[in-house]
Structure 1
């Protein structure tokens, strides 16, 4: 896992806040707006990125219908960062949202061939400053990186959902987290080259680079950089907040 690079490159963060609350038991309220301590999950995450002077803008990508509420939350909880935050409507799918972030930067911000975009799940509020710093450096040096932790459980593959097809070697497997960070120009170029069939297979932006044979380096993650998805995750997150 390698980092390093030019500290002068334009950098932008995109906080992906397009998820729903269905798996948290409240489909009417996106999970990023659930309270964690005294603030919504989203605000905890946004503050982590706003603390980095490297980012010229922190883009908060959220559903169109939640833009005003998100603006109100930012004004209430972190008004000191309001001029560094841009609210942008997300897309139908995750990678559509990333493309909306790219379009916003190109249309409204200074950007060149060295500009990088650091993308992160809004519901991973415990991302560390070290992980963000390593993502910025790795994206500058290598053009694409993914935050990962080694797989600790045996991974079982089943092609039919009923019986084991294969058991891959756990020592070469990793669990993906976020941030995922990229050279913005390269990400746009590769995404535009995808066929409809390839787009249908996408699970995240790193796969775009993999499909085109481009190298994606690994940044060491942290088990504490958890994604809040289910009610039990909120209990763990509340415990972590108390530390």
Structure 2
């Protein structure tokens, strides 16, 4: 079994507000958020390659950052697509064209803006994807989840069965490709989560536990929290 990592850095960060660059390139401590994330994956020796998939307009900038901060030759920068799952499939295409594809090959995909991922979470994903075609990282929901539409509450599900999704999300690559190719264009257009590709195709998705600190830096408030975490760790 060959395992690859794919760090999804294709977002434009519109919810971060008026910034000079996408959120993954913003500073966090002494390094950009993206680099903080890449460094966690470089520590895992089982990855054959670590793909960083970025917006085409930021390709040179991303390559320059990786060259400046990262010495591991497994890290490769490529361009993503228009949407998250286009970006994911661009990475799969690169793997297939450059390394070939065997039946049990797997990919561990992660948001570039979740820099506090731990070795334990990565390890649990690798172990799980050896057994299951699709793996999602989740934490139990703390708040009550309310489902609604048009400013009306339609359902309040039982919280014991509710989780908040994180990343990594890990997949057997051939299963993921087959599932994606089964979807209609309409289904592909509304996908907001990669594990849903497998669910829509009838594949089971296994879960591993994430951690509350494995936050996604999406808004200015998230960035403040992340910087506070970094400062705390530096001062310990």
TM-score of the superposed pair, with normalisation by structure 2:
0.95
Runs of 4 or more off by more than 4 Å in structure 1?
Answer: none
CA contact (8 A) 1:21 1:28 kept: no
Question: How many pairs align?
Answer: 232
**2:65 aligned counterpart, secondary structure:** helix
Q: Distance in 1 between the 2:19 and 2:31 partners?
A: 20
Q: How does 1:137-216 map to 2 (within 5 A)?
A: 137-160=127-150, 162-216=151-205
Asked whether 1:17 is paired with 2:14, we answer: no
Task: Tell me which moved more, 196-205 or 13-22.
Answer: 196-205
**2:215 aligned counterpart, secondary structure:** coil
- Residue by residue over 1:125-158, the C-alpha shift from the partner in whole angstroms, topping out at 9 and shown as x without a partner, is 0000000010011111111100000000011111
CA contact (8 A) 2:133 2:203 kept: no
TM-score of the superposed pair, with normalisation by structure 1:
0.93
Deviation at 1:200, TM superposition (A): 2.5
Which stretches in structure 1 are left out of the alignment for 5+ residues? 1-8
CA contact (8 A) 1:20 1:27 kept: no
Asked whether 1:90 is paired with 2:80, we answer: yes
Deviation at 1:28, TM superposition (A): 4.1
**1:164 aligned counterpart, secondary structure:** strand
Q: Distance in 2 between the 1:72 and 1:185 partners?
A: 32
Q: Which residue number corresponds to residue 55 of structure 2?
A: 63
Q: Which residue number corresponds to residue 3 of structure 1?
A: none
Deviation at 1:26, TM superposition (A): 2.8
Q: Distance in 1 between the 2:16 and 2:203 partners?
A: 36
Q: Which residue number corresponds to residue 106 of structure 2?
A: 116
CA contact (8 A) 1:10 1:110 kept: no
Q: Distance in 2 between the 1:54 and 1:26 partners?
A: 39
**1:239 aligned counterpart, secondary structure:** helix
